Chain A
Amino acid sequence: MAEKPRLKIPKEAKKGDLVEIKTLMPHIMESGQRKDKDGKAIPRKIINKFACEFNGKPVFSAELEPAIAANPYMQFFAKVEESGTFKFTWTDDDGTVTTAEETITVG
Chain B
Amino acid sequence: MRQLSRRATLVLGAGGAALSVLGWGGRAQAAAKEAAEQIAKFTGGKTAEKGKLTIELPEIAENGNTVPLSVVVDAPMTADNYVSEVLVVAEGNPNPGVATFHFSAMSGKAEASTRIRLATTQNIVVVAKTSKGEFFTGQKLVKVTIGGCGG
**Chain A residues in contact with chain B, CB under 8 A?**
18, 31, 33-35, 54, 57-70, 72-79
Contacts and interface: CB of A to CB of B under 8 A. Distances in A.
Contacts of B65: 69-70
Contact of B117 (A31, A57, A63, A77): A31
A34 B117 CA distance: 13
Contacts, number: 103
22 contacts: A18-B109, A31-B149, A54-B106, A58-B102, A58-B104, A60-B107, A62-B101, A62-B114, A63-B100, A67-B97, A67-B116, A67-B117, A68-B99, A73-B113, A73-B114, A73-B115, A74-B112, A76-B103, A77-B107, A77-B109, A78-B107, A79-B107
Interface residues of B, number: 34
Interface string B62-75: 00011100100000
- Interface pairs A-B: 10 shortest CB-CB: A79-B108, A34-B150, A75-B113, A69-B115, A65-B97, A69-B66, A77-B109, A67-B98, A63-B100, A61-B102
